[in-house]
Amino acid sequence: MDLRIERMADALVHYSLNLKKNDLFVINSNELAIPLIKVVYEKALEAGTYPQVFMSPTGLQEITCRKGSDDQLEHVSPITKFTLEHADAMLTIWAPRNTRALSQVDPRKQSLQAKAERETRKITMKRIASGELRWCGTLYPTDGVAQEAEMSIEEYEDFVYKACHCDQDGTADAWKKMSERQERIVEFLNKKETIRIVAKDTDLTLSVKGRKWINCDGKENFPDGEVFTSPIEDLVDGYIRYTYPAIFHGREVQDIKLTFKRGEVIEAKAAKGEEYLKAMIETDEGAKRLGELAFGLNYGIDRFTKNTLFDEKIGGTMHLALGNGFLEAGSNNVSGIHWDMVCDMHNGKVYADDEVIYENGRFLSL
């Protein structure tokens, strides 16, 4: 057994999810993540929980999108709803075999499936915001994600476990220290009302007045390393160019340019994948608006790997997500999608209430 998997499982059970005796604990994953699933399951039993594993074989989503009728794509499983409504804690382990399995699927079918996810997403977000559900998402290294990142599997494992602080003893302590650093940034941003982002082909102003900034310190994503909020839905104006490719449901869209007016996307362009981009924006009314504004603060993640879990945390970046917002941040935006798009800020500036607070990828005084 790789000692790094043992450290990761221990941090997930005791730090991220803080599992307690009698918790109803659900693990969602596929067969490729079995080594991590087994260790998490064992540690969950030791913690006195009632663990349940839901194993979805790789390839099922592709089959559903290709063969499913519109009614089947829009169907909301009562079993899924029941699980989301009753679990005390939930761990999602992503372990894709083929990151591009959905790249040739009809965008309209993916949009229908996203609409169906709107109801379950709403349940999940509400319970997370209220503290009723402790949820965490992580990734188990596979050949598929290693190839996407243009690394060998050994190199990618090293990258993942380093980003998670599992390459050394004291994993939980390392996350506690990051939490303390990020909390100072949260306290500073909570006093601000307006954020303006300026970079190449980007000048975007957002209102965050009354919204709450959240410290992401390894509790809901693992790895983590960001602070985020949800901007006021109808007070986003200007334009932004995303310098990194945006990956969503196995589809890659390159060189995205969005223009906002009173919070809504009024123009969307892309060098590659523009049809898919526009189809996702038309998923529902909430998909046209921003659900998240965030700073990436994990400077241990120093390269783009085409995996949002890591890319949105890259130190020196910002990401803004179209679609569903966060109740705990004060958002009212509801959507079947939540699409994070990452922007490199190493040559940019951020103003808060007309004062430069962030430049060339770092906060100036925090």
Tally of CB atoms within 10 A around 42: 13
Residues 167, 223 within the same domain? no
Q: What angle do CA 149, 151, 156 make, to 5 degrees?
A: 85
Whether residues 266 and 165 fall in one domain: no
Q: Between the CA of residue 344 and those of 100, 202, 312, 348, what are the distances in Å?
A: 24, 11, 10, 8
The answer on 152 and 104 residing in a single domain is yes
358: CB partners within 8 A, 6+ apart = 295, 345, 349, 350, 364
Do 263 and 314 belong to one domain? yes
Whether the CB-CB separation of 336 and 284 falls below 8 Å is answered with yes
Q: DSSP strand E in 64-187: where?
A: 89-94, 134-139
* 208 shares a domain with 136: no
Q: Provide the domain limits for residue 316.
A: 190-363
Residues of the chain under the 70 pLDDT cut: none
210, 167: one domain:
no
Return the C-alpha torsion angle 25, 29, 33, 38, nearest 10.
20
- What is residue 110's predicted lDDT score, i.e. its pLDDT? 80
> Does residue 181 lie in a domain region?
no
Same domain, 309 and 200: yes
Whether 219 and 257 share a structural domain: yes
* Degrees, nearest 5: CA angle 307-151-343: 35
Which pLDDT does position 118 carry in this prediction?
A: 81
Both 329 and 194 in a single domain? yes
If you write DSSP's letter for every residue of 70-101 in order, what string do you get?
HHHHH---HHHHHHHHH-SEEEEEE--S-TTT
pTM of structure: 0.84
Sorted by sequence, the CB contacts under 8 Å of residue 77 that are 6+ apart come out as none
Do 327 and 241 fall into the same domain? yes
Same-domain status, 217 and 107: no
The C-alpha atoms of residue 333 and residue 182 are separated, in whole angstroms, by: 25
CATH code for the domain in which residue 153 is found: 3.40.1830.10
Q: Quick check: is 85 in a domain?
A: yes
pLDDT at 220 (0 to 100): 92
Q: How many domains does the chain have?
A: 2
In a domain? residue 315:
yes
pLDDT for residue 243: 87
171, 206, 230 — which closes off a domain?
171
